[in-house]
Amino acid sequence: MKVCRRDFLKLAGVATAGAAFGGLGIDLSPTAAQAQLLKTRWAKETTTVCCYCSVGCGLIVHTAKDGSGRAINIEGDPDHPINEGSLCAKGASLWQLAENDKRVMTPLYRAPYTDKWEPISWDYAIYSIAKRIKQTRDESFQKTNAKGQVVNRTEAMASVGSAALDNEECWLYQTFLRALGLVYIEHQARI
Amino acid sequence: MGKSFFIDLTRCTACRGCQVACKQWKKLPATETQNWGSHQNPVDLNFVTYKLVRFNELEDKGGLQWLFFPDQCRHCVEPPCKMMADSYDERAVIKDELTGAVIYTQFTKAIEGMTGEELCPYNIPRMDEKSGVWSKCDMCYDRVHNGLMPACVQSCPTGAMNFGDREEMIELANKRLEEAKKRYPEAALGNVDDVRVFFLFQKKPDLYHKWAVAEAGIPSAPLTRRSLLAGLGAPFRRA
């Protein structure tokens, strides 16, 4: 880009002073569109890394200091060496990962032969999944292969995902999967 | 002098980061999308969608071309929509002297019996059916006044979207045009003298979008309401 960020900020700083003290001209006074303070002006800024793909773009999360204390804006971090402030459509929508009225708050279960999803408790969901993993693993576990070599594996289960896990979570997750004996382990970042 | 955008379409990959960043900053609600055979979604701009990447497929000698067009308000130097809106209510459309941003206020409610096509040579503004208020991109003038890039420009990962002082953007546009012409002989800039959002097209502008450029240009003298009502949306429309 022609205008580097620092030059731009310098110029815009002059502009801000003009806006704050010079007024914006008579046209603006009766409207709602007067010079505005940024809604992020008094927000707390925290840096983070995008959870989606393996590019690892940096972001700034603006959190309200008063009231809800919730995230009010998330945008690219111009000082981050990877993305220099830019984001793709998924990264730009990151705010909705935290603040979304369409978020599903409980696990959903669809019984065989129905087309309806029913909310269930976390306890029930985790218990049911654990039960099924144990049953499948017990049924399919191979101690040795055809040559008699020790393999301690199950080929009846696979793991795909999850894009929203970070590096450390992925390490824990794959450790757990390998302890179960899974060999089919794949992650979004490689796909 | 104010600010300007330079949008280099030879660099746009249609990731739609700009479209989402606009919604995110302004906290605009989602519009229900539909499968209509294109990634262009929502299908058109609307009251809560100020930025839209348009997709167009074209077959020519070079095979299939996929043209991307991040559409938005052009922030005209002499905005025709303001000339027209002034005849209804002078507070409806205002111009920010500092940046040159053309800003719609709630008083756009006074504009009656007009279509986006009649108000704007680029067919940008959209009305809310319930309230009768019109809206469109406001150049993120709140961000610009506070030293930040507009949300769409900041999010652009490829350098297609550029923003800065008008002179520098014109200079950058002309430089990029020279470079682009080597690869795309038809490359052209759209309406640089008239607007604050100018595109570098690698193909003829009308292949991107019907209203990509204003063919008749923008009238230099303000129009009277009477002449407008006499069917004078027409010179803005493309034949």
Q: What is the pLDDT of residue A34?
A: 53
The yes/no answer on whether domain B80-140 falls in CATH 3.30.70.20 is yes
CA torsion, ordered A81, A85, A90, A95, to nearest 10 deg? 120
Max Cα-Cα span within chain A: 89
Q: Is A61 on the interface with B (CB under 8 A)?
A: no
pLDDT exceeds cutoff 60 at A22 = no
Q: Is B106 on the interface with A (CB under 8 A)?
A: yes
What distance in Å separates the CA atoms of residue B186 and residue B10, rounded to the nearest whole number?
A: 12
Query: Can you tell me whether residue A173 is helix, strand or coil?
Result: helix
Residue among B107, B142, B162 minimizing CB distance to A1? B162
Cis before B42? omega within 30: yes
pTM for this predicted structure: 0.77
Residue among A30, A87, A95 minimizing CB distance to B17? A87
What distance in Å separates the CA atoms of residue A21 and residue B60, rounded to the nearest whole number?
A: 55
pLDDT exceeds cutoff 70 at B15 = yes
Residue B94, min C-alpha distance to chain A (Å): 7
Domain ranges of chain B: 80-140
Q: Which of A40, A57, A93 to mutate to test the interface with B (most CBs of B within 10 A)?
A: A93
Q: Is A69 on the interface with B (CB under 8 A)?
A: no
Query: Can you tell me whether residue B101 is helix, strand or coil?
Result: coil
Q: Is B79 on the interface with A (CB under 8 A)?
A: no
**Residue among B152, B56, B106, B234 nearest A76 (CA):** B152
pLDDT exceeds cutoff 50 at A12 = no
Under the banding of pLDDT at 50, 70 and 90, the label for residue B168 is: very high
**Residue among B111, B149, B115 nearest B3 (CA):** B149
State the first-to-last Cα distance of chain A, in angstroms, to the nearest integer: 31
Q: Which residues of B touch A41 (CB under 8 A)?
A: 146
pLDDT exceeds cutoff 60 at A27 = no
Interface confidence: ipTM more than 0.90: no
Contact A2 B145 (CB under 8 A): no
What distance in Å separates the CA atoms of residue A49 and residue A55, rounded to the nearest whole number?
A: 10
Residue among A18, A75, A89 minimizing CB distance to B19? A89
CB atoms under 10 Å from CB of A120, counted, come to 13
- Helices (H) and strands (E) counted in chain B, each on its own, are 7, 10
Q: Is B191 on the interface with A (CB under 8 A)?
A: no
| B64 phi, psi to nearest 5 deg | -80, 130
Residue A75, min C-alpha distance to chain B (Å): 8
List all residues 6 or more positions away from B210 whose beta carbon is below 8 Å from its beta carbon.
B123, B238
pLDDT exceeds cutoff 90 at A4 = no
pLDDT: which is higher, B239 or B14: B14
Closest Cα in chain A to B107: A31
pLDDT: which is higher, B212 or A162: B212
Q: Is B35 on the interface with A (CB under 8 A)?
A: no
What distance in Å separates the CA atoms of residue A126 and residue A124, rounded to the nearest whole number?
A: 6
- Average pLDDT of the segment spanning B31-37: 93
Q: Is A98 on the interface with B (CB under 8 A)?
A: no
Segment among A65-69, A106-110, A173-177, B88-92 with least mean pLDDT:
A65-69
Residue among A3, A24, A73 minimizing CB distance to B96? A24
Tokens found for residue B54: 């348009």
Query: In the predicted model, what is the mean pLDDT of chain A?
Result: 82
Q: Which residues of B touch A13 (CB under 8 A)?
A: 147
pLDDT exceeds cutoff 70 at A105 = yes
Q: What is the pLDDT of residue A107?
A: 96
Q: What is the pLDDT of residue B218?
A: 44
Query: In the predicted model, what is the mean pLDDT of chain B?
Result: 89
Segment among A10-24, A121-135, B85-99, B127-141 with least mean pLDDT:
A10-24
What distance in Å separates the CA atoms of residue B23 and residue A93, rounded to the nearest whole number?
A: 8
Q: Which of B5, B136, B149, B163 to mutate to test the interface with A (most CBs of A within 10 A)?
A: B149
- Average pLDDT of the segment spanning B35-64: 94
Q: Is A13 on the interface with B (CB under 8 A)?
A: yes
Q: What is the pLDDT of residue A190?
A: 67
* Run of H or E including A75: strand A71-76
The tokens 């935290």 sit on which residue? A98
pLDDT exceeds cutoff 90 at A161 = no
Segment among A45-49, B35-39, B190-194, B232-236 with least mean pLDDT:
B232-236
Strand order in the sheet with A142-144: A142-144, A150-160, A182-186
- Average pLDDT of the segment spanning A88-105: 91
Q: What is the pLDDT of residue B23?
A: 96
Q: Is B154 on the interface with A (CB under 8 A)?
A: yes
Q: Is B138 on the interface with A (CB under 8 A)?
A: yes
Residue among A16, A24, A96 minimizing CB distance to B147? A16
What distance in Å separates the CA atoms of residue B105 and residue B107, rounded to the nearest whole number?
A: 5
Q: What is the pLDDT of residue A25?
A: 33
Closest Cα in chain B to A59: B155
pLDDT: which is higher, B123 or A3: B123
Burial of B26 (0-12, 13-18, 19+ CB in 10 A): middle
- Average pLDDT of the segment spanning B122-151: 94
Residue A61, min C-alpha distance to chain B (Å): 12
Q: Which residues of A touch B103 (CB under 8 A)?
A: 33
Q: Is B39 on the interface with A (CB under 8 A)?
A: no
